[in-house]
């Protein structure tokens, strides 16, 4: 009987295999590895199928997982395209020789958006939309808590916003990484981190997923969220009482698509790129559920009122000239620093910030106290390493998790450095609090 049952189980499995959705037909479909949410992939995919008759299969993966997937399957590649936001991801694939060049036939796409070239100058990946970073806020929340709408990054460091701001971590989300990198490049290493930590001192939370930020603002768990534009714009379009703003220091970066090397159906892949950049394809980006900035300037004529237009409003994304190579060279170190200093020490950072903010309000005019508070502030914004070290190649190697051959000697482990930083940071935050207490006792 048991054998009979096993045989039955076997046959059920076999039937299941035959019924398996998609598997048998996978070869004929255009296979796209993408990091986009289903709202985007389904809407665009359906429209594309309708226009061209080509069926699409989307493999949804986080950007980093998508890169690893393409690297792992390179020898026996079954994917046609890679479709994601962060240009650095495409740079990694390009360096690994996993993409092929393609020349776009559609006309009318300008050279640059903001200060960034839309298509890869070497011709490997193509921008189809632009993304900028800024903040969104919940109007009901701000009204109930009587908070003004913030206008710049510096506004977010103000004491009134303490405990009202949310953000994701750069290690969790490629777009958040770009935001942090933009701040660092726009303001310089020291000032950039000081600003970042000033804002972080007001954090309510560091979300584990990038969508946790718009989610928290939409539902009113916190009032202000630092997000990529389409999160804010699509939330607004879905009816939530929220709004979005680009602060002055932001960068517009193209979101991209590329054809994978040895793609099973390169012709269909080319058709997809052409469709995305066509008038029709660009208009889909204005769909309320998607809401991304098209790269064809003509499309903005069809956009709803108040929709940001970077080709007209030159203030968006022009202030920072984003250096991709600099970003690429210190990618993992930035992630690790942010997590050690902010994500995992948020309680200590918040407590120190709160103490400083309270003391500052009281200490006006008292020079001695102000001096101590300034020292405390400097301690809080201190970064364990300088910009040069962060970009050092051998140092970055420790944070890149590709195991080297046994013959290659590498000194130091990531966990070791992180623990050393953590000890230093924790002591700094505690010392800052001490200084503030001392300042408080001066009057």
Partner 1 sequence: MNSVSRSHWGVNALALFIGLFLFVFLIVPVVKVVFVAFQDPNTGALTLINFVDFFNTTLFQESFFNSLYVASMSVLLATIISVPLAYFTTRFNFGGAVLIQTLGIVPLIMPPFVGAVAMLLLFGENGSVNLLVDEWFGFTIPFMQGLNGVILVESIHYFPFILINLSAALLNIDRSMEESAQNLGASGTRLFRRIVFPLAMPGYVAGASLVFLKVFDDLGTPLLLNINNMLAPQAFLRISSIGISDPMGYVISVILVAFSLFSLWVSFLALKDKDYSTVQKGGGGLMKRDLRTWEKIGCYAVIILILVMVLSPHLGLGLLSFGTIWSYSVLPDAFTFAHYDNMFRTAGQYISNTLLYAGLAAFIDIILGTAIAYLVLRTGVVGRKWLDYIAMGAVAVPGVVLGIGYLRTFVEFNVPIVDKPLASWWVIIVIALAIRRLPYALRACMAALQQVNVMLEEAAETLGATKSRTVRRVVVPLMTGGILAGFVISFATASVELSATIMLVNAESDAPLAFGIYEFMQQAAGRGPGAALGIVAVLIVGIATYISHRVIQRTEKRRNAGQIVVTEGAGAGAAK
Instruction: List binders of partner 1 among 113-172 (CB under 8 A).
Output: 138, 140-141, 144, 171-172
What are the strands, taking DSSP E only, across 264-345? 293-294
- Extract the tokens encoding 327: 């970003």
CB of 23 to partner 1, least distance (A): 5
Q: Which stretch binds partner 1 (CB under 8 A): 106-114, 125-133, 373-381, 418-426?
A: 418-426
- Extract the tokens encoding 410: 């590498």
Q: Which stretch binds partner 1 (CB under 8 A): 13-21, 85-93, 147-155, 303-311?
A: 13-21
DSSP state string for 374-390: HHHHHHHH--SS-HHHH
Q: Which residues contact 364 (CB under 8 A, 6 or more apart)?
A: 370
Q: What is the DSSP letter of 343?
A: I
**Nearest CB to partner 1, comparing residues 65 and 298:** 65
Contact (CB, 8 A) for 439 and 369: yes
Q: Which stretch binds partner 1 (CB under 8 A): 8-16, 103-111, 178-186, 250-258?
A: 8-16
Q: Does 428 bind partner 1 (CB under 8 A)?
A: no
CB of 193 to partner 1, least distance (A): 20
Q: Tell me the C-alpha distance between 73 and 431, whole Å.
A: 50
What is the footprint of partner 1 within residues 222-241 (CB under 8 A)? Answer: 231, 234-235, 237-241
Among 413, 427, 437, 443, binds partner 1 (CB under 8 A): 413
CB of 197 to partner 1, least distance (A): 18
Q: Which stretch binds partner 1 (CB under 8 A): 5-13, 245-253, 269-277, 435-443?
A: 5-13
Q: Which stretch binds partner 1 (CB under 8 A): 247-255, 306-314, 320-328, 405-413?
A: 405-413
- Extract the tokens encoding 4: 């009979």
- Extract the tokens encoding 246: 């680009």
What is the footprint of partner 1 within residues 26-65 (CB under 8 A)? Answer: 26, 37-39, 41-42, 57-60, 62, 64-65
**Nearest CB to partner 1, comparing residues 117 and 220:** 220
**Nearest CB to partner 1, comparing residues 290 and 439:** 290
Q: Tell me the C-alpha distance between 313 and 130, whole Å.
A: 14
Q: Tell me the C-alpha distance between 291 and 284, whole Å.
A: 9
Contact (CB, 8 A) for 80 and 260: yes
Q: Does 406 bind partner 1 (CB under 8 A)?
A: yes
What is the footprint of partner 1 within residues 165-224 (CB under 8 A)? Answer: 171-172, 205-209, 211-212, 214-215, 218-221
What is the footprint of partner 1 within residues 251-310 (CB under 8 A)? Answer: 288-289
Q: Tell me the C-alpha distance between 398 and 417, whole Å.
A: 9
- Extract the tokens encoding 418: 């992180």
Report in angstroms the alpha-carbon separations of 399 from 325, 391, 393, 408: 17, 12, 10, 15
Among 1, 305, 361, 367, binds partner 1 (CB under 8 A): 1
Q: Tell me the C-alpha distance between 46 and 52, whole Å.
A: 10
Q: Which stretch binds partner 1 (CB under 8 A): 12-20, 88-96, 251-259, 293-301?
A: 12-20
**Nearest CB to partner 1, comparing residues 98 and 277:** 98
CB of 333 to partner 1, least distance (A): 12
Helix ranges restricted to H, 60-211:
63-72, 87-95, 139-144, 174-187, 189-200
Among 279, 321, 404, 427, binds partner 1 (CB under 8 A): 404
CB of 116 to partner 1, least distance (A): 25
What is the footprint of partner 1 within residues 363-402 (CB under 8 A)? Answer: 399, 401-402
How crowded is residue 73: how many other Cβ atoms within 10 Å of its Cβ? 14
Q: Tell me the C-alpha distance between 159 and 357, whole Å.
A: 6
């Amino acid at each position: 009987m048991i054998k009979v049952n096993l045989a039955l189980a076997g046959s059920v499995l076999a039937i299941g295999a035959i019924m398996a959705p998609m598997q048998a037909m996978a070869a004929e479909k255009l296979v796209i590895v993408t990091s986009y949410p289903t709202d985007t992939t389904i809407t665009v995919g359906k429209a594309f199928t309708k226009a061209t008759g080509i069926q699409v299969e989307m493999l949804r993966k986080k950007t980093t997982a998508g890169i690893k997937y393409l690297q792992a399957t390179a020898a026996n590649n079954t994917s046609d395209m890679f479709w994601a936001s962060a240009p650095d991801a495409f740079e990694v694939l390009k360096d690994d020789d996993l993409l092929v060049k393609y020349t776009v036939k559609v006309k009318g796409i300008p050279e640059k958006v903001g200060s960034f070239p839309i298509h890869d100058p070497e011709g490997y990946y193509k921008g189809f939309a632009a993304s900028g970073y800024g903040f969104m806020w919940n109007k009901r929340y701000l009204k109930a808590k009587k908070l003004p709408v913030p206008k710049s990054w510096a506004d977010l460091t103000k004491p009134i916003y303490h405990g009202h701001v949310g953000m994701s971590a750069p290690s969790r989300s490629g777009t958040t990484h770009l935001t942090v990198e933009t701040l660092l490049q726009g303001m310089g290493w020291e000032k950039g981190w000081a600003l970042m930590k000033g804002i972080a001192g007001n954090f309510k939370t560091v979300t584990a997923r990038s969508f946790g930020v718009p989610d928290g603002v939409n539902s009113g768990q916190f009032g202000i969220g630092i997000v990529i534009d389409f999160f804010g714009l699509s939330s607004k379009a879905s009816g939530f009482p929220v709004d979005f703003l680009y602060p002055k220091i932001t960068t517009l970066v193209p979101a991209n698509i590329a054809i994978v090397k040895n793609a099973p159906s390169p012709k269909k892949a080319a058709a997809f790129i052409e469709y995305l950049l066509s008038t029709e394809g660009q208009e889909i980006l204005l769909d309320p559920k998607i809401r991304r900035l098209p790269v064809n300037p003509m499309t903005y004529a069809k956009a709803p009122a108040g929709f940001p237009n970077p080709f007209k409003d030159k203030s968006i994304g022009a202030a920072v000239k984003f250096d991709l190579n600099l970003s690429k060279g210190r990618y993992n170190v930035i992630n690790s620093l942010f997590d050690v200093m902010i994500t995992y020490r948020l309680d200590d950072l918040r407590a120190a910030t709160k103490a400083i903010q309270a003391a500052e309000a009281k200490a006006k005019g008292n020079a001695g106290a102000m001096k101590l508070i300034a020292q405390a502030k400097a301690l809080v914004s201190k970064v364990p390493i300088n910009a040069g070290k962060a970009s050092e190649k051998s140092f970055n190697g420790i944070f890149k998790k590709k195991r080297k051959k046994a013959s290659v000697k590498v000194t130091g482990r990531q966990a070791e450095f992180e623990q050393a930083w953590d000890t230093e940071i924790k002591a700094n935050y505690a010392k800052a609090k001490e200084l503030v207490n001392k300042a408080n006792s001066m009057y």
